[in-house]
Structure 1
């Protein structure tokens, strides 16, 4: 059984992730102000002291505690650490992502230190953004100086402020739609005081707005030491699910995993660390996913060998790191393979290793080694003859390497980093994939849009879709948006900003099963985002679009083109396409409009019998534009 301490954005996310498992859990908040829909969770309210928390954990059989509370909920953190230690319960901290500490900010250890520093800087007009609980802690300051406190616009907060003796006419209220600049221009303080609340707490926006208005910024530092007492710290939903999979392996019906692109990135980071931190023990690295969430990836092996220059001198080393791909419960032929990255640095001819300060000087050559396929046909969005390392993993690898070098103070050298990705046995594995059919020869592709592998091929995954649908319905939304994955969801979210996060469900390849579930639980309206690769299969009547079960049928596409009154030249060109996405460039003008309209109508014909309620189908191109 899992117990979440929430009341925050992180708590809401944790509840959503855990709800998808379809098992009972508990969600605890101090008050009842946070609105949250729990399909399988039970909410409890009220602060718990050590004895009460201990008794609750005993009674409910709690095996895992997730502390997703506010970073400044010090007493709660201490209680969780004490109780979990005493009862031998695993305690995980779901932490916020914090920006680097700016030198322009006055960093304060605590409220007493903040008062001392405010006085030292002769600040007599302050806007405090530290919340109603901090009023009493700053009393010695606001009784002597002009001070406003911004608090939540609710009666309990007002009463607490008055109870602490603060003048009501000096209160201002948080308005979600209010721009920080307008607030600062209204009160014109000399300084603002805020807590180091992280990205989800709007810290960066507040600081930037104040500095742009030439207002000084004082910030109370978070307590980093107390967080070290948790068994593990996670920084997002994927890290949370990985942690739960580790400590409660039976909790989720299906395990998520990491993509080959994430493995290649992790191996590259480990190789870089071995090159620049030669005495470091490298068992794991932190990879930043495309959604900016950092996750931990374990490293199997790191080796180093000298590169011998023509004159016989040892000028540099080449380091190689190996990561084993864990695809979770996805039946992926690449699960368990070793993905290697070899990294070396080549100096510019005639120059030494001169440091540069500009990130624009960063140069990276990415090569494919053993077991990585080569692009031999057009249509894959990559140049012919280049390694089959897709654009998203390329960018993730480059961004992570650049970030690491910046972190250690080696932003860029006057030279080029050469990274070679290899997959021992990849050529044999590729024969069991569709790579040879689409023009990728000699090995596998390094792929992954989100960096995470969700299992899309089992009965358990369909059950997971059902649970997500039930959670979506429980959220009160009348429209559920279904997408194949992260890429199509990003494209379509901008059209549905008013919907809660629970209203977005991934169908993977199971379009038919997802629509049946939606009909069974009586979802009033479905909007389905579909990319061209799945649309051409769905239009032919394939409700399970997995590439292992069905491939693009060019003869069918030629029939559609004929019915859409495309010219014979266009129809003939369909014979030469490798992937369905090439249709976006092959078709133009009126032909494009007629073809895709007919394609969507055919998709609708196959979907309507499964879902008789309102159904919208949106076709999404490779740039994320909606047709």
Structure 2
């Protein structure tokens, strides 16, 4: 389950995307909202205690913080819950322009500082505050001294909140803040505004419109700076980045059950872009979504991003969903540029990040872009279909591109088989179907092999992104290829590194998996084994911890609760024993002489190593 804190433009975008993905989620807002979302909607202020309890009850796996940047209490509560329950936070942040070169703009650290500055400037008699109904009381000392007007949302709830402040309602201007900038300019002119007030609300808070109004009337725009937010596990600034992170999380903590999910090949991603570009050249606009009909009769649906249109050329991209297939291009940008010509033929060129074949023996001739026959056929089918639909007969030059293709190709076998400059565009049916956990284990084997072939004699195994980030902070000088995600397949991964005769292995995991491993469980997936409080309790008892601590551990529902009862210390006996037991299980799997290090990470990234 995903818990979304919304009530903002970003919150709506998150809900819309999760609806498209058919993800289960709960949408939380402080006050009721008029719009409907596909997930369960709740409202009301959630304290730290309520949020923590709610997350446990609803089995929340990820928190998406899309709350307003000024909702300080909300952000702090979310962060504390994340630390307590080890739930990652995905923050959808606003884009904030720089105001360094704007002479009319003055920034303040607080409303108190702003009010003091206004009181010191006697010349500002007529003021228009665009800071929202929640901030009216901040300016109470000015109500009787200046003609200060407050623009608020044009809703019953905002009106009632304004009335509660006791402000003269003649000074309250209900208005749609998302209206055209000209509406704000009309309001400024109507009241004779001499000073505009705002909070740093970012692009989605329509700061551009406020700046336009200030420039139009050559009046100062004073802005309260956004507060400093806590650190988040992940931070995105666009719908595209959000989709990428959700796809990545689906392979780890958002994975549902043991059934492996199918995805789509790189070839079908390119085909969707080609189709979208061709249609856009006819309609002069890109659609938000595009679908490709596969040989099976199924449809592959994509959201279209970054559409660019010229007279006879166009380009766009999609985000690839590989499902549970072990694929280095999962959640990456896959795009295509097309150019119309008079040849009547379809030709292929390698765009940025797509490899060129330099050795014989592959399905594509030497010198050609590494686009296999399967995706070529699929792309040509899309072109033929659109040509018939709009009755055109022209040539089309196809240039697939993968922005990170050169970097990603280093994690594949392309360099070894003579494909240079990027990845290959592959796929026959358009669908990636991982049949079992064997596919995931084989991917681990491939990654380990690639690491070895890139001269990595020390390999780092972590369950996922968060623990990898902690590991990189400790071992910052090692190559990227050396860090490998193994999910819950600890036993299988250790067998592979033993077979490959890796010189040194470092396994880094969090407490929950560490206790499972210490008990002898080499597959730590929650469907196979759950946290055994009795086992943890026995460790504490054997080490002579006080009875009150032992009893609290015995009652724990989650392993992370133990950190509250036994705080972190570098050589705390309980955690050292967990590490020792877990490492013992690891050594059983490996060959004699292989060096194994085990690292236990706290939710804050502190480490205990043996």
TM-score, scaled relative to structure 2: 0.47
